[in-house]
Chains A and B, each alone.
Chain A
Amino acid sequence: MFPDTVKAILEGLNKGDFSSEEITTELLARANRHQPDFNAFITLDEEGALAAARQADEARRSGQAGQLLGLPFAHKDLFCTQGLRTTCASRMLESFVPPYESTVAARFRQAGAVCIGKTNMDEFAMGSSNENSHFGAVRNPWNTEYVPGGSSGGSAAAVAGGLVPAATGSDTGGSIRQPAAFCGISGLKPTYGRVSRLGMIAYASSLDQGGPMAHTVEDLAILLGVMAGLDEADSTSAEEAVPDYSAALEQPVKGMKIGLPREIFEAGKVGQTEPAIQAAIESLKSLGAEFVDISLPHIDLSVPAYYVIAPAECSTNLSRFDGVRYGHRCDNPKDLEDLYARSRAEGFGEEVKRRILVGTYALSAGYYDAYYRKAQQIRRLIKQDFAGAFQAVDAILSPVTPGSAFRIGEKTADPVQMYLEDIYTVPVSLAGLPSLAIPAGLLNGLPVGLQLTANYFRESTLMQLGHQFQLHTNWHQQRPSTSGRPD
């Protein structure tokens, strides 16, 4: 029986309780066994993982160190891994083997971690349910008739299902936080620019941010320490020094001020998650946190603004897929236009096409001011809302989503209904702030997540609050009965 948290596995490896090869072998077996249940992986790299695990064991024997030496984990399939297929869950990149490594993948490798495979996701990270994958929908380990959330749904399901202790994700409008909430795990979207985007296949460049997903905040602190930091090759990567996130964990919560946005709490929009969220507020109060009423007057405009800005950036970013240099190429193109238009039509799925078309429309002559410029102006208002709030508070609390996970197929017919899933996560994304999702309860047997947001580069504040909350609650220790642990 192996532990399932990053911290406990690293301790076990250091004490010699088990080897990296042993735990990697076991996790690969579980991942294979549960692939028909959860569909969490697109690619499993058994050979590469076992070779890396043996190398880590050898390094440990010879006294070498590494922050994650021998730790098995998985990458969301949008982080380019040199020599290992990276599909972005798209037919467009079905057989794409990157000739270079993303900075995030390089950092995990340098830290000695063992990547067992690439997790399933919504195609090009566009979706809130993980139903938009060329490789099929991912299923929630808590109940396989329900979605795991998206777009990092495979990463969330793999962690929740006990297939890996940790996985990388990316968050553009909630793609780490929402699946973490639906699958009952912890996930962090760092400040925009905290984690390098080099080699992370782009969706919306002013919003995309990679981050860690695991069971506990303690684990997120370890993982973010590896992922974060300046990358000269990413011009938007921040120069801020990376603090010792683990050192922040033990700081007491007493005296911290947490804001409750009245546009959510007074407007009765907490919805079905209300009992869990209220209980979480009481827990934090008992630890000495003080709650303050705040206002974010423009957050209702976040989802409309987001669904202009993100598609606009997506239509630009995805214009690189032209059927010429990489990716899917149609058969027998009759001319260059036909090569472009048919390769893209065959390579992209429905939601990706919708967003490319909306984005192209919003950027086209005559509509730019009414849509794209307008959305960017609203984005500034939202950023100012948060800046005002953070004058008075250390963090802002809300639900991650209006409810718990929904049934597979329940929202696929109505794109706007699906977009409203992101109501609490996109305001934070537009402002570029760091935000943490942690398990805070169950609703009809499915997990509910709590969202804590801090000011720019204050990931440590989130670690502190999240860890202290987890020391006094046990939601992060709950596991689904269908999980991949030995029967």
Chain B
Amino acid sequence: MPLKPEDLATVATLAKLDIPANQTERLRQDIEQILTFVEQMNAQDTADIKPLGSPLERPQRLRADQVTETDQREALQSVTRHTEQGLYLVPKVIE
């Protein structure tokens, strides 16, 4: 299936990926080639087949409804410099 440059731009926006102008055409061709390749699936009739999401199809195990996690905020935030008073810092969102 042909992939138009504007389709690639939409997908890149959804994927939150900035694509430099000089890489757009190469990427568009690659993605188009991959999509064309996977479309071989269409040769197979799958009308009444139930999709399979996980190979073992077992029910998820439940655990007792108890608090098991301890507060690890400091350890988890130790991997970024961009925190203040236990909060993550991002560019200003609200004007």
A residues in contact (CB < 8 Å) with B: 96-100, 192-193, 206-207, 232, 235-236, 238-239, 298, 300-301, 304-305, 307-308, 315, 319, 322, 324-326, 329, 333-342, 344-345, 348, 353-354, 356-358, 360-361, 364, 370-371, 373-381, 383, 415-416, 419, 430-433, 456
Q: Separation in Å of the B23 CB from the closest CB of chain A?
A: 9
Name 13 extra pairs, CB < 8 A, besides A315-B15, A342-B18, A371-B35: A206-B53, A301-B44, A326-B79, A336-B91, A344-B15, A353-B19, A357-B12, A376-B52, A376-B53, A377-B52, A378-B41, A381-B44, A419-B37
Q: Separation in Å of the B17 CB from the closest CB of chain A?
A: 5
Q: Are B40 and A301 in contact (CB under 8 A)?
A: yes
A204 to B15, CA, bound (A): 16
Q: Evaluate whether A373 and B38 lie within 8 angstroms (CB atoms) in the complex, with A99-B76, A344-B17, A360-B15 already known.
A: no
- B38 touches which of A207, A307, A354 (Cβ 8 Å): A307
Q: Are A304 and B40 in contact (CB under 8 A)?
A: yes
Can you list 14 A-B contacts with CB-CB less than 8 angstroms, sorted by A residue number? A96-B79, A192-B54, A193-B58, A304-B40, A325-B77, A326-B79, A335-B91, A335-B93, A344-B18, A357-B15, A361-B7, A383-B52, A430-B55, A431-B55
Q: Separation in Å of the B73 CB from the closest CB of chain A?
A: 10
- A381 touches which of B35, B46, B93 (Cβ 8 Å): B46
Does chain A have a CB within 8 A of B20?
Answer: yes
Q: Are A361 and B55 in contact (CB under 8 A)?
A: no
Nearest residue (CB) in A for B79 is A326
- B41 touches which of A239, A308, A340 (Cβ 8 Å): A308
Nearest first, the 4 closest Cβ-Cβ pairs linking A and B are A432-B55, A376-B51, A377-B46, A380-B52
Q: Are B61 and A304 in contact (CB under 8 A)?
A: no
Q: Evaluate whether A374 and B15 lie within 8 angstroms (CB atoms) in the complex, with A307-B34, A354-B34, A357-B31 already known.
A: no
- List B contacts of A430 (CB < 8 A): 55
A380 to B19, CA, bound (A): 35
Q: Evaluate whether A193 and B56 lie within 8 angstroms (CB atoms) in the complex, with A97-B79, A336-B91, A357-B17 already known.
A: yes
B residues in contact (CB < 8 Å) with A: 7-8, 10-12, 14-20, 27, 30-31, 33-35, 37-44, 46, 49-56, 58, 60-61, 63, 72, 75-80, 82, 88, 90-93
- List A contacts of B61 (CB < 8 A): 232, 235, 239
Q: Are A340 and B27 in contact (CB under 8 A)?
A: no
Q: Are A373 and B72 in contact (CB under 8 A)?
A: no
Q: Separation in Å of the A240 CB from the closest CB of chain B?
A: 10
Q: Separation in Å of the B42 CB from the closest CB of chain A?
A: 7
- B90 touches which of A100, A193, A336 (Cβ 8 Å): A336
Q: Evaluate whether A358 and B34 lie within 8 angstroms (CB atoms) in the complex, with A206-B55, A235-B60 already known.
A: yes
Q: Are B54 and A358 in contact (CB under 8 A)?
A: no
A40 to B53, CA, bound (A): 34
Q: Evaluate whether A358 and B35 lie within 8 angstroms (CB atoms) in the complex, with A340-B16, A342-B18 already known.
A: yes
- List A contacts of B50 (CB < 8 A): 377, 380
Q: Evaluate whether A298 and B44 lie within 8 angstroms (CB atoms) in the complex, with A206-B54, A358-B35 already known.
A: yes
A344 to B39, CA, bound (A): 28
A348 to B16, CA, bound (A): 12
- List B contacts of A325 (CB < 8 A): 76-77, 79-80, 88
Q: Are B38 and A336 in contact (CB under 8 A)?
A: no
- List B contacts of A193 (CB < 8 A): 56, 58
Q: Are B30 and A354 in contact (CB under 8 A)?
A: yes
A368 to B88, CA, bound (A): 34
- List B contacts of A339 (CB < 8 A): 90-91
- A357 touches which of B8, B37, B39, B53 (Cβ 8 Å): B8
Q: Are A324 and B88 in contact (CB under 8 A)?
A: yes
Q: Separation in Å of the B88 CB from the closest CB of chain A?
A: 5
Q: Are A374 and B63 in contact (CB under 8 A)?
A: no
Q: Are B41 and A374 in contact (CB under 8 A)?
A: yes
- List B contacts of A326 (CB < 8 A): 79-80
- List B contacts of A341 (CB < 8 A): 16-18
A443 to B56, CA, bound (A): 37
Q: Separation in Å of the A128 CB from the closest CB of chain B?
A: 14
- List B contacts of A319 (CB < 8 A): 16
A205 to B44, CA, bound (A): 25
A301 to B38, CA, bound (A): 9
A345 to B13, CA, bound (A): 12
Q: Are B41 and A301 in contact (CB under 8 A)?
A: yes
- List A contacts of B91 (CB < 8 A): 333-336, 338-339
Nearest residue (CB) in A for B43 is A301
- List A contacts of B14 (CB < 8 A): 360, 364
- List B contacts of A96 (CB < 8 A): 79
Q: Which of B8, B17, B18, B88 has the most CB of A within 10 A?
A: B17
Q: Separation in Å of the B71 CB from the closest CB of chain A?
A: 13
A324 to B88, CA, bound (A): 7
- List B contacts of A340 (CB < 8 A): 16
Q: Evaluate whether A304 and B49 lie within 8 angstroms (CB atoms) in the complex, with A335-B91, A353-B27 already known.
A: no
